[in-house]
Structure 1
Amino acid sequence: MSHLKESSGDLVARVRRIAGQVSAVERELVADASCTKVLHLVAAIRGAVNGLMDEIIADHVEAQVARPGLTDEERAEGADELLAVIRRYSK
Structure 2
Amino acid sequence: MPHTVRDKTKLLNRAKRLRGQIEAIERSLDEEDDCSVVLHQIVAARGAINGLMTQVIEGYILDHLLDDADHTPEAKQRDADELIAALKTYIK
What TM-score range do you get, normalising by the shorter chain? Answer: over 0.9
Identity %: 36
Provide, for residues 28-67 of structure 1, a one-character-per-residue CA deviation record: whole Å limited to 9, x for no partner.
1111100000000000000000000000000000111111
Report the counterpart of residue 81 of structure 2 in structure 1: 80
CA drift of 1:15 comes to 0.3
Letter in 2 for 1:27: R
- Which aligned pairs between 1:30-49 and structure 2 lie closer than 5 A? 30-49=30-49
CA drift of 1:2 comes to 3.1
Letter in 1 for 2:60: H
Letter in 2 for 1:72: P
TM-score with structure 2 setting the length: 0.93
Contact 2:2 2:63 in 1 (8 A): no
Quote the RMSD (CA, aligned, Å): 1.3
TM-score with structure 1 setting the length: 0.94
Higher RCO structure, 1 or 2 (CA under 8 Å, sep 6+): 2
Equivalent pairs counted in the alignment come to: 91
**Deviation larger for 49-58 or 67-76:** 67-76
Letter in 2 for 1:90: I
